[in-house]
């Protein structure tokens, strides 16, 4: 198949959940298909990644996001959309669609639909990877923001995104909607009853399982730290949970690994030398290798958390809130551990650091679940098969 693939961000380096999802789909889908890739980038530094993406794509087109001019376009739609709507991108996608024998136009996230022409909408060749119900995710994000003005802006953005999505879907000319969680898929189907949907879950790479490693008393949390829900989780764990752990295990360390950390996060490491805020890292694998426990202390946000699958795929013991494993089938005391209160979270972490071998069965069970059910090859094969079925 020949496909146009449209993305709201450069998927390389694959250092956030969204980027990992897009990058892995490109990598595996490209094995038997031809991809014309169009994406928005945030800065000039990302142009250098074109050569890496060219390993998987027939052609790669980058377009720089201009947040400044987006302010003048707000009458057309929410900021998360209009800041990624680029006239030259829309024109180039249209030229590619007319020039090549394109089977499908695959769009990641509804925010990017403003770059799709009416001709493509009417072609019956449009696939939308919803990932989550995006306006719901944006609304949930607002709940995690303390600043009342910023929170109000997020609520307004969520409402405007909802209105934009309704406009795009009303003619039902999108051939297939894909979702990463069954909850979001069902939620969407209840509102739009005559649409084709497909569950395309998040996958994970499988890494070598490490037997009986020495305990280093390192706890880590991975994620994009400019994402409000991730930042809120890291701050909560640092301020509420980690002091209890550190009191019992003074040598313990908490690593916050992720790009673009908030100022409040950077201040955490300034006030406590046992808290390390890395920012962007060159090789995330080094941080997975050194850690003993991976925590997912999320209290807000939507969709399946790639960070959970990645952690289990690395053979790590995961301790999460219930919110952190929402949209998955993972079970407490089976593949991972869950905790809600400050004291419960701290107690489990302390016990795990002191007696890591007691959790070997849970750690291995989580790893085996990923190995059997969540490899990226299986996920992408399912997606590709559905596209072939729709084509025929």
What domains appear along the chain, each with residue ranges and CATH number? 2-203+375-390 (3.40.50.2000), 218-374 (3.40.50.2000)
Work out the burial of residue 119: count CB atoms within 10 Å of its CB; fewer than 13 is exposed, 13-18 middle, 19 or more buried: exposed
Q: Can you read off the two tokens belonging to residue 115?
A: 């770059």
Instruction: Please indicate whether residue 203 or residue 126 has the higher confidence score (pLDDT).
Output: 126
What per-residue confidence (pLDDT) applies to 174?
92
115-171 pLDDT, tens per residue?
Answer: 999 999 999 999 999 877 777 777 777 777 778 888 888 888 888 888 888 888 876
- Above pLDDT 70, what percent of the chain? 96
Answer yes or no: are the C-beta atoms of 37 and 29 closer than 8 Å.
no
Q: In the predicted model, what is the mean pLDDT of residues 338-342?
A: 95
Distance between CA atoms of 313 and 305, rounded to whole angstroms?
A: 13
What DSSP designation does 214 have?
P
User: In the β-sheet with 104-108, what is the strand arrangement from edge to edge?
Assistant: 59-64, 34-41, 2-7, 104-108, 126-131, 176-179, 197-199
> Worst-scoring range by mean pLDDT, 26-30, 45-49, 70-74, 333-337?
70-74
Instruction: Please indicate whether residue 251 or residue 19 has the higher confidence score (pLDDT).
Output: 251
Q: What is the pTM of this model?
A: 0.78
Residue 340, pLDDT above cutoff 60: yes
- Torsion on CA atoms 176, 177, 178, 180, rounded to nearest 10: -170
* Vertex 124 angle, CA 120 and 126, to 5°: 60
Average pLDDT across the chain, whole number: 90
What per-residue confidence (pLDDT) applies to 71?
61
Distance between CA atoms of 49 and 36, rounded to whole angstroms?
A: 15
């Amino acid at each position: 198949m020949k496909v146009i693939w449209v993305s709201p961000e450069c998927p390389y380096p694959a250092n956030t959940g969204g980027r990992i999802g897009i990058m892995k789909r490109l990598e595996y889908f490209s094995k038997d298909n031809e991809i014309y890739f169009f994406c928005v980038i945030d800065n000039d530094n990302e142009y250098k990644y074109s050569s890496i993406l060219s390993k998987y794509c027939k052609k790669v087109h980058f377009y720089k996001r201009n947040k400044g001019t987006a302010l003048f376009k707000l009458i057309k739609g929410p900021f998360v959309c209009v800041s990624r709507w680029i006239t030259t991108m829309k024109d180039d996608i249209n030229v590619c669609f007319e020039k090549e024998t394109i089977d499908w136009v695959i769009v990641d996230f509804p925010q990017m639909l403003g770059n799709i022409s009416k001709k493509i909408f009417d072609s019956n060749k449009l696939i939308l990877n919803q990932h989550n119900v995006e306006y719901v995710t944006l609304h949930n994000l607002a709940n995690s923001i303390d600043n009342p003005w910023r929170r109000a802006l997020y609520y307004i953005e969520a409402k405007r995104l909802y209105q934009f999505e309704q406009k795009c879907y009303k003619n039902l000319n999108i051939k297939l909607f894909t979702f990463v969680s069954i909850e979001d898929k069902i939620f969407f189907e209840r509102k739009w009853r005559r649409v084709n949907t497909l569950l395309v879950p998040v996958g994970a790479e499988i890494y070598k399982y490490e037997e009986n490693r020495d305990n280093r008393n390192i706890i880590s949390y991975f994620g994009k730290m400019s994402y409000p829900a991730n930042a809120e989780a890291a701050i909560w764990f640092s301020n509420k949970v980690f002091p209890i752990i550190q009191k019992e295990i003074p040598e313990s360390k908490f690593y916050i690994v992720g790009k673009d950390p908030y100022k409040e996060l950077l201040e955490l490491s300034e006030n406590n030398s046992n808290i390390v805020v890395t920012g962007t890292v060159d090789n995330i694998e080094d941080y997975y290798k050194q850690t003993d426990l991976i925590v997912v202390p999320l209290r807000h946000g939507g969709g399946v958390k790639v960070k959970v699958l990645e952690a289990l795929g690395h053979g790590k013991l995961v301790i999460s809130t219930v919110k952190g494993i929402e949209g998955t089938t993972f079970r407490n005391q089976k593949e991972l551990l869950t905790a809600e209160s400050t004291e419960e979270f701290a107690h489990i972490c302390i016990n795990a650091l002191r007696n890591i071998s007691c959790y070997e069965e849970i750690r291995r069970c989580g790893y085996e679940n990923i190995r059997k059910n969540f490899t990226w090859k299986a996920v992408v094969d399912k997606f590709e098969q559905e596209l072939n079925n729709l084509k025929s």
